[in-house]
Structure 1
């Protein structure tokens, strides 16, 4: 069975949704929803539910939120191996959403991730986990110097590296490591923040990202066609149209998991892209950031809704 090691964010997400029209500067009736989250952790849970052996390493505080993250890992079948700082708080992300789901404002309390320094990669348990894994997955919650050290270590071990962008503010942390990353998952805003420019048409993303040193990745574009590339292959894939969307939180993380699941199975990249799109559909139909009903069988059934990918090169 394929083994994946995930290093990155595993924290608490709090989302408040306003019931009516948003009244700025005033109290708004609404509802809170709290769950475990984090780009790396969402992808880890999806990959575990698809039947892969997944280990997660992330900093965590010695508090009730940390216990909630551990419980979520156990429920999804993730081998959870955190660095626990008993005197610190588990990182959190708190967002206020309008009735239609658009973001009003958010606060990311991610200070603890700064303690995941490159020295942590030298810990025996981490070195062993990296040596045993078939693929390493990280997210940009890690410090830039830690990402660079991780990518260099993976290159030395001959391991493939995948990465999740997280946000336009954090994706530049990958700039020093692009030559050592095999797959980077991002949206258009994150891709532009990474390389400082945007192509004239979406089909130009692979060329620009290759020029920057990246050998593979996926650029999502909301309801527009996603653009993916790996090696000398570039593809375009239009997301399927669905009637019911419960919450788009975690859709990009599930797409990354679906693509990597296909890659680990040895599928052609365009077919791996279709699996990613199918995983994203399953996720947005769930109120959770990771759909609890996700499985290899459910993913295969959802493929019926996903169109064939268009080969660009």
Structure 2
């Protein structure tokens, strides 16, 4: 592999309720609950570990059973887990209600603990040692803006590429102060609009708007619509593969990011990296989990023929 990846961000508990029939707002709906460890950074870390990458995770969590569940999951998939534990706090959680077809109805994020992970954490001996051993960094916008800025500065001082996951329209703005220090930001159209203050008539217009904000590279997804990616050399547009069955869309964006990151750190061009991201997202939405348990390099490669070629824009 191309060196170790340090992941700093969200690692918490995901709770998802799936409605059994037609959704009726403002009423009780029959369905089932499902719970598993999750979080943007953690989902990506698990995917990348399953693809064979060496991954170290630094994430805050509480001194409770949920925190222990996150640690056990990290160990199970081969992640080097280095938690920052707040013994008197509860581990963050994300609770979502899904329609029968897997699409999101509403979600609640209980993430206050992440606000305690301040910028001074990036100056500790253990954190600096982890950064010194890394070749690439991935963060997510669950962390405070000051912490993200400090992380980007510390990584930049070591010439380490920094990838970032937007998480939500409300949280992506935390990355505004450090956009210029990111190698690539993964976001959906709503998150990109939160950064730019507007959205283009054509998705191909996203790169111009985001470059004006100082971003050197990014990927903008739009559900089943066209995906636009750009870096300092060009822009690529991809139509995701059409799938007959979608089990659960949770984690699809994190999977897309994982595929692109995996390909980029291995030196693949932007267009090919975009296709790898689409393949991992397709695998994930066909799984009941936020990260596909059966994910492997062979499985990812088997999905590549399903992914259309990208269009390279000048």
TM-score, structure 2 normalization: 0.97
Q: Name the CA distance, whole Å, in 2 between partners of 1:14 and 1:215.
A: 35
Secondary structure at the aligned position of 1:304 is classed as: helix
Aligned to 2:127: 126
Aligned to 1:204: 205
Per the alignment, do residues 168 and 48 of structure 1 end up closer, same or farther by CA in structure 2, a change over 3 Å counting?
Answer: same
**Which consecutive unaligned segments of at least 5 residues does structure 2 have?**
none
Q: Name the CA distance, whole Å, in 1 between partners of 2:202 and 2:209.
A: 11
Aligned to 1:81: 82
Shift of 1:13: 0.4
Q: Name the CA distance, whole Å, in 2 between partners of 1:103 and 1:270.
A: 29
1:280 aligns with 2:281: yes
Per the alignment, do residues 220 and 80 of structure 1 end up closer, same or farther by CA in structure 2, a change over 3 Å counting?
Answer: same
- 1:40-89 per-residue CA deviation (whole Å, 9 max, x = no partner) reads 00000000111110000010111111111111111211111100111110
Q: Name the CA distance, whole Å, in 2 between partners of 1:310 and 1:26.
A: 45
Q: Name the CA distance, whole Å, in 2 between partners of 1:265 and 1:123.
A: 30
Secondary structure at the aligned position of 1:88 is classed as: coil
Aligned to 1:190: 191
Aligned to 2:311: 310
Shift of 1:282: 0.7
Secondary structure at the aligned position of 1:169 is classed as: helix
- 1:210-256 per-residue CA deviation (whole Å, 9 max, x = no partner) reads 11100001000111110000112100011011112111110110110
After TM superposition, list the pairs within 5 Å mapping 1:99-138 onto structure 2: 99-138=100-139
What's the C-alpha RMSD, in Å, of the aligned pairs?
1.1
Q: Name the CA distance, whole Å, in 2 between partners of 1:296 and 1:105.
A: 33
Verify the 8 A CA contact 2:103 2:248 in the aligned structure 1: no
Verify the 8 A CA contact 2:102 2:246 in the aligned structure 1: no
Aligned to 2:167: 166
Q: Name the CA distance, whole Å, in 2 between partners of 1:70 and 1:293.
A: 20
User: Structure 1 residue runs of 4+, over 4 Å off?
Assistant: none
Aligned to 1:95: 96
Secondary structure at the aligned position of 1:260 is classed as: helix
- 1:145-189 per-residue CA deviation (whole Å, 9 max, x = no partner) reads 100111111111111100000000100001111110110000000
Q: Name the CA distance, whole Å, in 2 between partners of 1:241 and 1:292.
A: 22
Q: Name the CA distance, whole Å, in 2 between partners of 1:257 and 1:284.
A: 14
Secondary structure at the aligned position of 1:259 is classed as: helix
Q: Name the CA distance, whole Å, in 2 between partners of 1:173 and 1:129.
A: 23
Q: Name the CA distance, whole Å, in 1 between partners of 2:48 and 2:257.
A: 9
Aligned to 2:240: 239
Per the alignment, do residues 113 and 232 of structure 1 end up closer, same or farther by CA in structure 2, a change over 3 Å counting?
Answer: same
Aligned to 1:30: 31
Q: What is the number of equivalent residue pairs in this alignment?
A: 313
Aligned to 2:40: 39
Shift of 1:97: 2.1
